Amino acid sequence: MQDAIEKADVLIEAMGWIRQFRDKITVIKLGGSVMEDPDALGNLLVDIVFMETVGMRPIVVHGGGAAITRAMAEANLESRFIQGRRYTDEATLGIVERVLAGEINESIAERIEAYGGRAMPLNFVGETNNNVLFGERLTLPNKEGGEPIDLGYVGHVTRVDREILDNLCYAGQVPVIPSMCETETGERLNVNADTAATAVAQAVGAEKLIFLSDVNGVRRDKNDPESLIHSLTADEARRLIADGSIEAGMIPKVEGCLETLSKGVRKIHIIDGRLRHSLLLEIYTNRGVGTELVAEPA
């Protein structure tokens, strides 16, 4: 009986949050590492269907770095990363397009539908091009001075077709966006999925941006889960990047968060997508899980 009463208390608590987030857009970034676990991905997609059912407007942006690396290895191509970005030559681009914008994008949308939701895959691979991300080539500053670093067919997003996203959201469909963009002349480019998610969150004025990864959040010591930072300020994040505590794939994630905070998205969370119902716990309960990024000290 006590158990049942506690469950009812949780429902009442959730009701307040459901009301607060009704009609609000949340951008959810699905990381490739969490998508490697089919059960974890299934649980996350069920949570997304729940969010949509109770009136929130989720938008999914996904990566698929691990699957791309695997497909490249099968094609005897070596993956090379520069400052967290994959060097993308023509052969690599073909694989990114097939795996990310094709297989993964379509499969996420199909699974949302299988769980009872409605979803729209937004890619340029099928017969109709309904891509919403537009951009240009990205070069990285050379830390040793000299010429900027060329990454091949890698881009960054400069424009998001917000109208399509708004229309889908308000029609009760979950937009599913792969991390690729097109230039205004139709060239296709590979985009880091964290930065794609931040561009979408900024463009639609999202209430929340949530990164689902395979760690419990940002840690002071990346190998120690106990060193999780619950609330990370912009200043401390910059310090942790500078001293090397934040590294590899966490760098573009946190850098993207900092830029997004300065552009008005109010809440950003990095959480462990492998934890069952981590999304619902983060949004609909008072127990924050993972790391919240905040502009000023809490």
Ligand X SMILES: Nc1ncnc2c1ncn2[C@@H]1O[C@H](COP(=O)(O)OP(=O)(O)O)[C@@H](O)[C@H]1O
Contact residues toward ligand X (CB under 6 A) are 31-34, 63, 65, 194, 213-215, 218-219, 222, 245-250
- As measured in angstroms, the least distance from the Cβ of 214 to ligand X is 5
Choose from ligand X2W, ligand X, none: what does 68 bind? Cβ within 5-8 Å by kind. ligand X2W
Q: Which is nearer to ligand X2W, 154 or 270 (CB)?
A: 154
Residue 142 annotated in ligand binding:
no
Under 8 Å between Cβ of 289 and 275:
yes
Q: Which is nearer to ligand X2W, 79 or 227 (CB)?
A: 79
Residue 65 annotated in ligand binding:
yes
Residue 211, phi then psi, degrees to nearest 5: -100, 125
Residue 86 annotated in ligand binding:
yes
Q: How far is CA 127 from the centre of its chain?
A: 26
The DSSP bridge pattern shows strands 231-233 and 291-294 to be parallel
The structure tokens listed for 80 are 């090379």
- As measured in angstroms, the least distance from the Cβ of 30 to ligand X is 8
By CB under 6 A, the residues from 93 to 112 that bind ligand X2W are 96
Question: String of b and e for 183-192 (b: at least 16 CB within 10 Å)?
Answer: eeeeebbbbb
Choice from 27, 50, 51, 64 touching ligand X2W (CB under 6 A): 64
Burial class from Cβ neighbours inside 10 Å (0-12, 13-18, 19+) for residue 94 reads: middle
- As measured in angstroms, the least distance from the Cβ of 99 to ligand X is 14
In the annotated binding site for substrate, the residues are: 64-65, 86, 190
